Amino acid sequence: MILVAIGANLPNAEGASALETCRRAAAALDALPGLTLKALSRWYETDPVPPSGQPPYINGVALLAGPAPDPAALLIALQGIENAFGRVREAPNAARTLDLDIVAIGGLVRLAPDPIVPHPRAHLRAFVLVPLADVAPDWVHPILGQTASALQAALPASGVRPMPGRG
């Protein structure tokens, strides 16, 4: 099980909305060699973290199946997708056209080098855990030993609003 967080809060260069970019990014994940999109959470509108005056984000989580990829190779593939959608890396927590983060690769624990797996802050972020619980409520954080549902229940879900429809 490979879990990838998807987020955006700016239109892309062609003017597609953040929601449309996230939908297209999910399709791009499904096209990664050797991986298949098995489940996609609902989309959520979320407040920026930390609060910054940016537009709200659209967030979701994709569950991919296939042989466990090398984390560094997967990160390169995800950054290639981000770049194709006009991602510019100006400053940490800046507004963006697309953000793809590796949340987990099975039960892998990798503390260095980058990417760190599981994502070092995913368990602290409702905008990751709420959609993650949509697709993998029984996923167990390999370091904390808690399920996605338990981790989500420990956080306030404020600032995370489901969008109408699905996918």
Catalytic one of 101, 125, 161, 166? 101
Catalytic one of 99, 121, 125, 166? 99
Taking CA atoms, 125 is separated from 46, 67, 76, 122, in Å, by 11, 27, 23, 5
- 87 catalytic residue (yes or no): yes
- 125 catalytic residue (yes or no): no
The per-residue DSSP string of 3-14 comes to: EEEEEE-S--TT
Q: Which of 148, 105, 115, 147 is nearest to 130 (CA)?
A: 148
- 99 catalytic residue (yes or no): yes
- 24 catalytic residue (yes or no): no
Taking CA atoms, 93 is separated from 2, 42, 110, 116, in Å, by 24, 23, 23, 18
Find the DSSP H helices in 18-105. 18-30, 71-84
Catalytic one of 23, 87, 125, 134? 87
Catalytic one of 96, 114, 138, 161? 96
Residues designated as active site: 87, 96, 99, 101
